[in-house]
């Protein structure tokens, strides 16, 4: 018992500052994603982060700020996907690769849970929901639209309305796994590959 206390104390002081901030973030993320905003208490977070509640309040003004930090802190993770968004010689093959990439990224449990969380709290934090919408799904659609426009100008695709084509592509690929992920606890990431492939097949049949 004394040992535990000493061990805990060891992480205190200046060295512990950054460490505790990260631990708080991680604990809050895990709990918010698992139980939601309202059902996660600051005491829960403090306990999970092995930190006193007071320490949380030195790093974050209040519970809301901790929540916004989680949501906005994950917004930039689409960038990694957006960078791989280019098509070479093999149009069908590359679109298939992109679709598989995309669905694999979005169907990840953490992404699904974050999405569910933002939707769940959309009435409590409307601006946050809008920001998330603008910065994640809307940005991906815009990137696809730009790609399809370029491909159309090159004569390799026939998307007169690239924006609509992008929306069609996105929802052909994501619709089923995303919807299942919203309602069902376990997303069953089995047949993501075949879902992506059939989506690309339908898309190309309509837009080539």
Partner DNA sequence: TGGGTACTGGACTGATCAGTACCGAATCAT
Partner DNA sequence: ATGATTCGGTACTGATCAGTCCAGTACCCA
Residues in contact with 173: Cβ distance below 8 Å, sequence separation at least 6, in sequence order = 99, 102, 103, 195, 196, 199, 200
Question: Per rule CB under 8 A, is residue 170 in the interface with a second copy?
Answer: yes
From candidates 1, 5, 6, 185, binder to a second copy by CB under 8 A: 185
DSSP state of 121: T
Indicate the residue among 42 and 189 with the shorter CB distance to DNA: 42
Question: How many residues does this entry show for the chain?
Answer: 208
- Can you read off the two tokens belonging to residue 19? 């460490």
d(CA 194, CA 65) in angstroms, rounded, equals 40
Q: How far apart are CA 1 and CA 6, in angstroms?
A: 9
> Please, are residues 194 and 177 in contact by the beta-carbon 8 Å criterion?
no
- Give 21 or 122: the residue with its C-beta nearer to a second copy: 122
> For a second copy, which residue of 35, 53, 84, 156 counts as binding (CB under 8 A)?
35
Does 22 bind DNA (CB under 7 A)? Our answer is no
Query: Which stretches of the chain bind DNA, using CB under 7 A?
Result: 4-6, 8-17, 19-21, 39-44, 50-55, 57-59, 62-64
Query: Which stretches of the chain bind a second copy, using CB under 8 A?
Result: 34-36, 38-39, 116, 118-124, 126, 129-130, 132-133, 137, 161, 164, 167-168, 170-172, 174-176, 179-180, 182-185, 198-199, 201-203, 205-207
């Amino acid at each position: 018992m004394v040992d535990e206390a000493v061990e805990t104390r060891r992480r205190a002081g200046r060295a512990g500052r950054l460490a505790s901030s990260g631990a708080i973030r991680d604990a809050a993320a895990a709990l918010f994603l698992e139980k939601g905003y309202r059902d996660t208490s600051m005491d829960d977070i403090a306990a999970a982060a092995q930190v006193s509640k007071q320490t949380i309040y030195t790093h974050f003004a209040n519970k809301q700020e901790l929540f916004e930090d989680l949501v906005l802190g994950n917004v930039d993770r689409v960038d990694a996907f957006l960078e791989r968004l280019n098509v070479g010689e093999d149009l069908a093959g590359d679109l298939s690769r992109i679709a598989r990439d995309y669905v694999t990224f979005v169907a990840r449990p953490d992404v699904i849970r974050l999405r569910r969380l933002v939707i769940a709290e959309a009435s409590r934090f409307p601006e946050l929901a809008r920001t998330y919408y603008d910065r994640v799904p809307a940005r991906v659609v815009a990137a696809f639209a730009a790609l399809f426009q370029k491909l159309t100008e090159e004569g390799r695709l026939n998307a007169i309305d690239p924006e609509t084509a992008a929306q069609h592509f996105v929802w052909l690929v994501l619709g089923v796994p995303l919807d299942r992920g919203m309602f069902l606890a376990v997303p069953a990431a089995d047949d993501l590959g075949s879902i992506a492939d059939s989506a690309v097949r339908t898309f190309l049949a309509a837009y080539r």
